[in-house]
């Protein structure tokens, strides 16, 4: 875990999770997924923690599924629900801030949206690029992207699979905070300090209440996304697109 997912105590009940799988550029490598699960389990066991900041490294926040995983889903060997790490920011009982200081791509962007607060960088690229490969979105993205960013821009992102800079999303009126890339972590820390000033039990209780609706809807949404994958993911064109487009 220490090699690719780092947990740092910042004081006053604030902890920072840093995703740093440089070999895979923070795609969903086995090491990254296992590290995320382990670090959130560690946070769960520590009753002194109040707030989590989730970030990546350098120019990368999180870049979604690996080429091998996409082909495994295409071949029917796994489903995205088998990668059972991505809801941990939502399931974490204390507030989580996604400080997306770098690019966030596909499932990596959706993963960040499971946090309670999202901060984007103006210069970074954000995309839900599932349809670029010809298959419908997964990981709860059809619920989270429109609800967190706004229905109009969220649906556009899901359908078009285009790249959007954070500054463009800000101009389009997304419902999350967008600041200069260099200020993302500072803004996250400022927010974390404000939250950490509150009683831990009150933070936990309010988070549980505010997320009740999304938690109630999510299982059915994921079930429907998996059903769509059975229709869309196994097309021969999808394999061709993964082979041609992955990494571009």
**Residue 78: other Cβ atoms inside 10 A:** 12
Order of all β-strands in the sheet with 96-100: 5-11, 14-19, 51-55, 96-100, 117-121, 177-179
Question: Which of 74, 88, 229, 234 is labelled catalytic?
Answer: 229
Contact 134, 92 (CB under 8 A): no
DSSP percent split of the chain into helix, strand, coil, nearest 5: 50, 15, 30
pLDDT of the residue at 248 = 55
Contact 84, 111 (CB under 8 A): no
Instruction: Tell me the backbone φ, ψ of residue 61, rounded to 5 degrees.
Output: -90, -70
170 vs 118: CA distance, rounded Å = 13
Domains defined for the chain, CATH in brackets: 5-183 (3.90.226.10)
pLDDT of the residue at 84 = 83
pLDDT of the residue at 1 = 46
Active site residue 229: yes
CA dihedral 54, 130, 127, 15 (to 10 degrees): 0
128 vs 108: CA distance, rounded Å = 9
Q: What average pLDDT values come out for the chain (248 residues) when binned by 10 residues?
A: 86 98 94 96 98 98 93 90 91 98 97 98 98 96 98 98 98 97 98 98 98 97 96 94 83
pLDDT of the residue at 82 = 84
Place of tokens 């923070």: 26
pTM here? 0.96
64 vs 14: CA distance, rounded Å = 26
pLDDT of the residue at 34 = 94
Helical packing angle, 236-245 and 67-74, nearest 10°: 170
């Amino acid at each position: 875990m220490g090699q690719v997912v780092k947990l740092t105590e910042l004081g006053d009940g604030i902890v920072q999770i840093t995703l740093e799988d440089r070999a895979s550029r923070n795609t969903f490598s086995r090491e990254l997924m296992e590290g995320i699960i382990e670090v959130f389990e560690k946070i769960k066991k520590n009753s002194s923690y109040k707030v989590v900041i989730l970030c990546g490294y350098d120019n990368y926040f999180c870049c979604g599924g690996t080429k091998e995983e996409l082909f495994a889903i295409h071949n029917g060997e796994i489903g995205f629900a088998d990668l059972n790490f991505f809801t941990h920011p939502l399931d974490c009982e204390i507030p989580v801030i996604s400080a997306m200081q770098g690019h966030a791509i596909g499932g990596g962007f959706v993963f960040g949206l499971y946090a309670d607060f999202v901060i984007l960088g103006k210069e970074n690229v954000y995309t839900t690029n599932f349809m670029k490969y010809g298959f419908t979105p997964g990981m709860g993205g059809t619920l989270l992207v429109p609800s967190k960013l706004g229905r109009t821009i969220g649906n556009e992102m899901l359908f078009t699979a285009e790249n959007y800079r954070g500054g463009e999303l800000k101009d389009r009126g997304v419902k999350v905070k967008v600041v200069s890339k260099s200020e993302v972590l500072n803004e996250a820390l400022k927010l974390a300090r404000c939250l950490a000033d509150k009683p831990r039990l009150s933070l936990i209780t309010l988070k549980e209440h505010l997320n009740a609706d999304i938690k109630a809807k999510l299982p059915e949404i994921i079930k429907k996304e998996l059903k769509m994958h059975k229709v869309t993911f196994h097309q021969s064109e999808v394999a061709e697109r993964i082979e041609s487009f992955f990494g571009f």
